Amino acid sequence: MMRLMIVSVFIFFLGGCSAVSMVDNYQQNQLMKAGFERQQLSLESQGELHYWQGGDTSAPTVILLHGFGGTGLTSWYEIMQDLASDYHVIVPDLLWFGASFSNAPATISSETQAIQHLIEELALENVNVVGISFGGFITFDLMIKEPTVNKAIMLASPGIVFGDEDMDAMSQRFGQSVPEAVFVPENKEGVRHLLEHTFVDHPWYPSFIDEQIYQSYFADFHVQKKSLITTLPAYRDQLNPAEFKGKLPPSLLIWGENDIVFPLEKGIEFSEFLNAPIIIIPDASHGLSNDFSESISQMIRDFIQ
């Protein structure tokens, strides 16, 4: 998500300009100054996967996967720079987010296959994968399907334990009838509603910024983004835990105490399913990588060292 970006928009706001584009350009320039490179990979599905790569390529690899409502940069801007001092850091824009796209069906499996293609193309042998929210679902799928995964961290992402009744309850908490309406807003008002319920201290900013955020991060690939949500139950239902439970790489869960998207009890249930530790951040909501970037970065380091 993008709390850091919103705060930056307010700070760097100039009347008459696209504040969102200005901040995005500024952050990209800062990443390039820090040694990151913007790269792209052509996919067999007649698409492209765009990603940032930085740090020491001979160091352990960390792949950071974002959630809905932004790009790799908006979710991981501070964390990716911090980790680059000691790790080889790769931050993709997932398919149908940012500049990444594909003609493949818009499903978790297509997202996973794109990341697997990237791992193969870069000849990576051991990777640590970190995913937040929707990126956590992809992380879980990679744990099952990708043998190069060494360790995995999932932030605010319940994997296989989030049932249809949980999806319905989440929609109701946001005043929506279906879950895709929560994550894929139709207008600037929907953007404001989503962000206000995702971060701990959602900052004030001029209302016209909501339209800029909508156009920059939600308007494109609207149909595909909705499909990523509506196909989640079918993905979940085709998984057979007997085939992989007890065989997965080591994992860690990180959860916000007050997450209303995926409540803490689902995180605890998922940790029991995985037999994995869970770190609970007091008074935290859903947007952990932005709200608690310094703490999250240290948790990543501690787990994958």
Q: What is the pLDDT of residues 53-103, one digit of tens each?
A: 999 999 999 999 999 988 999 999 999 999 999 999 999 999 999 999 999
Reported as a pLDDT band with limits 50, 70 and 90, residue 206 is confident
* Mean pLDDT, range 196-213, rounded to an integer: 80
- 43 pLDDT exceeds 50? yes
Question: In terms of C-beta density within 10 A (0-12 exposed, 13-18 middle, 19 or more buried), how is residue 114 classed?
Answer: buried
pLDDT score at 13: 46
Instruction: Choose between 32 and 69: higher pLDDT.
Output: 32
- 205 pLDDT exceeds 80? no
Instruction: Choose between 108 and 5: higher pLDDT.
Output: 108
- 8 pLDDT exceeds 50? no
Instruction: Choose between 165 and 305: higher pLDDT.
Output: 165
What are the phi and psi torsion angles at 292 (to 5°)?
-135, 50
Reported as a pLDDT band with limits 50, 70 and 90, residue 209 is confident
Cα distance between residue 114 and residue 102, in whole Å: 9
Count of domains observed in the chain: 1
Quote the pTM value: 0.93
Task: Count the Cβ atoms, other than its own, within 10 Å of residue 271.
Answer: 21
CATH code, 96: 3.40.50.1820
Arithmetic mean of pLDDT over the chain: 92
**C-alpha dihedral sign at 173, 175, 179, 182:** negative
Q: Which of the given ranges, 11-20, 182-191, 275-284, has the highest pLDDT on average?
A: 275-284
Q: What is the pLDDT of residues 246-291, one digit of tens each?
A: 999 999 999 999 999 999 999 999 999 999 999 999 999 999 999 9
What are the phi and psi torsion angles at 199 (to 5°)?
-115, 160
Reported as a pLDDT band with limits 50, 70 and 90, residue 177 is very high
Cα distance between residue 134 and residue 48, in whole Å: 20
pLDDT score at 197: 81
Reported as a pLDDT band with limits 50, 70 and 90, residue 204 is low
Cα distance between residue 89 and residue 64, in whole Å: 8
* Residue-number span of the structural domain to which 206 is assigned: 3-304
* Mean pLDDT, range 128-138, rounded to an integer: 98
* Mean pLDDT, range 28-55, rounded to an integer: 96
- 172 pLDDT exceeds 80? yes
CB 100 within 8 A of CB 92: yes
pLDDT score at 17: 58
Q: What is the pLDDT of residues 219-228, one digit of tens each?
A: 899 999 999 9
pLDDT score at 203: 67
* Mean pLDDT, range 5-27, rounded to an integer: 65
Which has the closest alpha carbon to 163: 235, 240, 65?
235
